[in-house]
Every structure is written in structure tokens, then in C-alpha cells.
């Protein structure tokens, strides 16, 4: 089946697509200053006298010489943003966020949905059949060393996986997917309700969902899923989400990346 990628490709047939971003740094700073009612003052450097932009190259502010005797360069609201992040004052970061559409294997969604602070809506296969797209891990993925992740380890007394056995699994998995799809389609043709015909669908079948979260909760998601102990598949998705959020909110994610630099 031809795979239509609506965003950034992940795995063999998955994708991450930005639907929309909402909120802004301005809203984050405004929320942090609700008690003082100062609002957003601007990014630095600012003039210490008048609060307008300060050019460090010329040594003058935007208002000099008309309405300011000129002061010195001081940090702007980037200082407050950094203070909030470093001291875990995280509620203002809930004033901005993003919505993504994700196509991923069902077993990835089972992990993803454990993050209950996100909002989800997934294709259920109850009203429309899911496309015949199934995840087949590469030989390289199957051969990954999993000694650092006990949850991903093999069963006790299992043989050492070889490339030959990895290829066997890929072929067997593909045949199983083909058989399950035949049963699924036959069930639909025989009048089995879609909500029951879906019982045969494997956890490797690709599904789609929309996921929405504010920045605070996207960062909590990334702390667990863009991390070396996370399962490789969901980490691949988290890596793309991280990259997209970094483009949308560079100041916040510069702070995040600095704090999580390995």
C-alpha cells in the first residue's frame, strides 16, 4: 500500500505532523506577572533608564537622545523566563502549546496514552477501517543491544539473536500481518460489524491520533520518552516532537536542552 506522509516520516510508515501551535512567550510572561500587572516588557538587552531596546553595538537605546539620558544594557524578560524554568515555576508554561497528528503503531499509542495530561483523539476502526499499514522492525532495530533496558530484554534462557533469525522474524511477522488483514477484510465483507472485526487487528497496525498539550506537559513527555531508557520506537517519535517544539518555542527549549544536556 502507498504510504501518504503528512509530516515528518517516522519508522517505516509513521509520521508526526504539526497541526497548530497556540499561545506565545508573551502569554507566558503575562501569566507569570499576574500579581504585579507589569505584563510583557520585552526581550533584552533593554535600557536600564527607559526600558526600551538597547543596542550593545552602538551603546545607545532606541529613545536616545530624545527622551532618555541613556542607561546601560540590562536583561529583558528572558531573565524571568529562565528563572521560572530553573526554579520549576512551571504553571506559566501552560499558557502555550501545540497540537500534533501522529501515525504510529498501536503499541506506541499504548505507551503514549499513559501521559494523561495530554488530550487525545484516536482513529478507533469502529466507524472506518484502518489502512493496511503495519510496522515491521528493521534487522538493525531487532539487533539493538537492550542490556540497558530490562523491560526490553529477552526471556530467560533465550538464544542469542542473529541476523538470520531477525530476518526470519521479519518474514514471519509480515505473513502474520497479511493473514490478519485477510481475516479482517473477510469479516467486514461477511457483515461482521466494524467494531468487532477490529478485534483481529494487531498492536503493530498503524493508527492515527491528534495529541494536544501545553508546553509544561510536552516537556514532561519528552523527559520520559526522549530518553535512553524509553522504547526505541516511541523515542523516535519523541525526538521529532522535540525538534518541532524547539523550532516553535526556541527560548523555552534552549532552557530545556541546557537542563537535559547529556
State the catalytic residues.
225
Supply 239's cell numbers.
Answer: 525526538
In sequence order, the β-bridge partners of residue 51 are none
Alpha helical stretches, state H, 11-162: 25-32, 78-86, 106-112, 139-142
Cα gap 137→179, rounded to integer Å: 18
CA dihedral 144, 145, 146, 148 (to 10 degrees): -140
d(CA 199, CA 180): 10
Cα–Cα distance measured from residue 23 to residue 29, given in angstroms and rounded to the nearest whole number: 11
Residues 6+ positions from 218 with CB-CB distance below 8 Å: 97, 98, 241, 245
Name the grid cell of 77. Answer: 524578560
What distance in Å separates the CA atoms of residue 117 and residue 221, rounded to the nearest whole number? 9
Amino acid at each position: 500500500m502507498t504510504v501518504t506522509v503528512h509530516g515528518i516520516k517516522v519508522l517505516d510508515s509513521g509520521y508526526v505532523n504539526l497541526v497548530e501551535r497556540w499561545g506565545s512567550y508573551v502569554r507566558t510572561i503575562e501569566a507569570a506577572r499576574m500579581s504585579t500587572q507589569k505584563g510583557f516588557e520585552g526581550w533584552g538587552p533593554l535600557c536600564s533608564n527607559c526600558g526600551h531596546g538597547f543596542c550593545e553595538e552602538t551603546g545607545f537605546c532606541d529613545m536616545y537622545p530624545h527622551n532618555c539620558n541613556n542607561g546601560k544594557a540590562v536583561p529583558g524578560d528572558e531573565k524571568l523566563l529562565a528563572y521560572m524554568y530553573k526554579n520549576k515555576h512551571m504553571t506559566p508554561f501552560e499558557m502555550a502549546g501545540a497540537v500534533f497528528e501522529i501515525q504510529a503503531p498501536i503499541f506506541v499509542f499504548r505507551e503514549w496514552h499513559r501521559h494523561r495530561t495530554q488530550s487525545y483523539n484516536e482513529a478507533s476502526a469502529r466507524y472506518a477501517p484502518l489502512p493496511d499499514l503495519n510496522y515491521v522492525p528493521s534487522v538493525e532495530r531487532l539487533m539493538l543491544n537492550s542490556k540497558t533496558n530490562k523491560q526490553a530484554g529477552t526471556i530467560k534462557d533465550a538464544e542469542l539473536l542473529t541476523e538470520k533469525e531477525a530476518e526470519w522474524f521479519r518474514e514471519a511477522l509480515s505473513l502474520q500481518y497479511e493473514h490478519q488483514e485477510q481475516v479482517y477484510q473477510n469479516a467486514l465483507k461477511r457483515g461482521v460489524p466494524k467494531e468487532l472485526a477490529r478485534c483481529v487487528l494487531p498492536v503493530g497496525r498503524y493508527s492515527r491520533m491528534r495529541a494536544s498539550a501545553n508546553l509544561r506537559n510536552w516537556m514532561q513527555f519528552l523527559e520520559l520518552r526522549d530518553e535512553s531508557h524509553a522504547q526505541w520506537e516511541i523515542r523516535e517519535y519523541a525526538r521529532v516532537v522535540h525538534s518541532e517544539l524547539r523550532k516553535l518555542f526556541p527560548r523555552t527549549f534552549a532552557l530545556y536542552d541546557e537542563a537535559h544536556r547529556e
